[in-house]
Chains A and B, each alone.
Chain A
């Protein structure tokens, strides 16, 4: 460690101040931040949304949005202050001196250009090599980042690759000109947990073999634990704590760091009270669902089996978790259970009622019993309707008098921890966490017996996530609800679920009480998933 610290920094950010536009909540996005990036070291900049961490990353590349302005400070790189550079000066540094990997590899790649062409652009931008040499280089890079069948991949378009492959391609691109500094802005946030583990390993290996200085932006303390040498904790644009990974995780000094660390869900499931096994709230028997895309006349249809013989039940007052990676079919199962989509085969029973056998009015009368909370708190609320309407629409459709429904909406807002004044406001006036509370109030307005929460806390910051999870637990106990909780995050599942079903390619491969599943996973896929959860090998273990 001392050896590392004695090296001179590759990049020094000194007292950086980035001013926000006048209308913003606070004057500075980044307020007096100083960070040294040292060759061979990974610095994790952590913070919640709005902390200014992404701004720091973009400032290093001269890619700040036009709406903000660098007010004071320096970014020193190879003896020059980057903030003083003109556009052509910046172009020299970008890609060659400092390279960047972005969060969402799908949108960060041009959909109309082949992967290889996009890699070759790196050399073209700096007038290096002949086109033929560029192609050979691209091929080598694809090999170096472990892309399978590199010949095919460099001729492929982004949509033909998996998420992990796209991010590998992005990394290959960033490394093309052997930059001394790599800026990675939440590079694994959009990836599945097993893919994330691989990408983290890749970045770690490349950084070591090339002795790069890496600035790694993330909100995930598990990821920090796995990859960081040094941690910088940002809040409202200011550094609240900074130090080696051991120091910050084992002995956090600032209250905010402590709170953040405490909010990270633990991998150890709490002890849960036993439930009455005879009182079933939901019974799902042998659900099958295959999506068929017509292949045309001369091609076979494409079939994706989203649910294959899916069978489980939820006891009254129980939370059953449905975990798995993207494409495993968990969201399809949630929609099948709610009958938002039709199953090919199988039965869903709510209490004594066979939901799959009902049609029309009879089905509509049962729908209020099972309600959903969605993942995206922005897309799931109609932006043109007031909160009061959003919450009371459902009950009014069921025949409740508007006034009564509105009174109930007011009551529900209180229950989910929001002010009654929210009734007259529009969804965009609320933060992500508040919107998710609105989503919960909307679901509860229908007096449901069962809540289906589809990645309901995945889009939230860790501290907000902890609050919403607690709210869900409280409401469940108070109202005697049962819950189907869909998540890709095993830490969250550990905290909230009584039992967990692990899904892979439409099949439930393992279904067990939570504690048992974490203590003794049987199926290889369950073991793989649990092994890939970041932050387990860290000094602080459960973070």
Chain B
């Protein structure tokens, strides 16, 4: 297993390098000059000032050299300096990453737990009204645009009912500490996490349902019945465990997008995470910050993929690491 992990990490480094190079050039191809934007905002857009800015941020050097400097920096965990925020990129990201991870991991957990539960129920009662109700509502959440669900839930729960805070990570200026702080953050978390969670829940519900119905027909389920096992044991031990394999695969694919995929939700709920950071960086042509966010997101995808493969090995003994 160690050999497998080592192999994957080395391969991952190369993949990351390729991603950096590609993103580096892609960003430069996009129209817009960060020096010009900065100079414009500073109110002094004469050529000399712009040139000074360029020199300050090494923007005047040839592209390959800029790339080399950047990659060298990344190797020592230095993601460069954000001209706009006047802060090291790594510090900016480190500040925002916990909020994003809190949001997306909560959403991920919600989607998996609800998805598998509802999927199992739907399969168990396949063809009845319960099945139809679950399938239809899952489809509804899946088909509705995520930002619209977000806006409508703000309207309902914050504006009309006043149960939940409508934006942010915590109550500004309240300075809670201890348990009160946890409760405050949790209240802020509910809506954005549910918004993302319900969307992904739909896919897991449908996947679990379909997969369970398929596994139910397999021979070993008949063997289990022939043993005289009780139905709930058969469902849990034989059907569900086997049915979860494709769900794990799908969850693995989704988990990779956890960090970078919450842009819309974070924007609507003003959640101070990576997604919003990315959005701002994009508007401001903040090259280093953009690249930094990309690098971190890509690294997360690689890490989550590795974790998925390890989880898969745990749940399916037929998978061998070497091959």
Contacts and interface: CB of A to CB of B under 8 A. Distances in A.
B230 A91 contact: yes
Interface string A76-110: 00000000000100111111100110101001111
A173 interface: yes
B227 A122 contact: yes
Contacts of B223: 100, 102, 108-110, 118, 170, 173
A129 to B, nearest CB: 14
B7 interface: yes
B3 A104 contact: no
B225 interface: yes
A102 B219 CA distance: 8
A295 B322 contact: yes
Contact of B228 (A94, A118, A159, A170): A94
B30 interface: no
A108 B6 contact: no
Contacts of B220: 107-111
A110 B7 contact: no
A125 B219 CA distance: 18
A63 B230 contact: no
A94 B315 contact: no
A295 B3 CA distance: 10
A91 B7 contact: no
Interface residues of A, number: 38
Contacts of A87: 231
B318 A111 contact: yes
Interface stretch (A296-304, A374-382, A386-394): A296-304
A108 B222 contact: yes
B224 A112 contact: no
A172 to B, nearest CB: 12
B172 interface: no
A91 B231 CA distance: 10
A294 B227 contact: no
Given A112-B242, A112-B315, A295-B322, A94 B3 contact: no
Interface string A120-151: 01101110000000000000000000000000
B323 A157 contact: no
Contacts of A294: 322-323
A159 B316 CA distance: 11
A95 B227 contact: yes
A126 B6 contact: no
Interface in B175-227: 218-220, 222-227
Nearest to A183: B226
B103 to A, nearest CB: 33
Given A107-B220, A298-B3, A63 B323 contact: no
Given A95-B227, A95-B228, A173-B227, A112 B317 contact: yes
Nearest to A298: B3
B6 A110 contact: no
Interface in B223-250: 223-231, 233, 237-238, 241-242
A293 interface: yes
A94 B225 contact: yes
B4 interface: yes
B49 interface: no
A122 to B, nearest CB: 5
B157 interface: no
A107 B218 contact: yes
A434 B183 CA distance: 70
B226 A99 contact: yes
Contacts of A112: 241-242, 315-317
Contacts of B322: 294-296, 299
A406 interface: no
Given A294-B322, A296-B3, A110 B224 contact: yes
A107 B219 contact: yes
B321 interface: yes
28 contacts: A63-B226, A94-B225, A94-B228, A96-B228, A100-B223, A102-B219, A102-B223, A104-B219, A107-B220, A108-B219, A110-B220, A111-B318, A112-B241, A112-B315, A113-B238, A118-B223, A121-B227, A124-B229, A125-B227, A125-B229, A157-B318, A294-B322, A294-B323, A295-B322, A295-B323, A296-B321, A296-B322, A296-B323
3 smallest CB-CB distances across A and B, nearest first, come from A94-B228, A296-B322, A107-B219
Given A113-B238, A294-B322, A296-B321, 5 more contacts: A87-B231, A94-B227, A102-B219, A112-B241, A118-B223
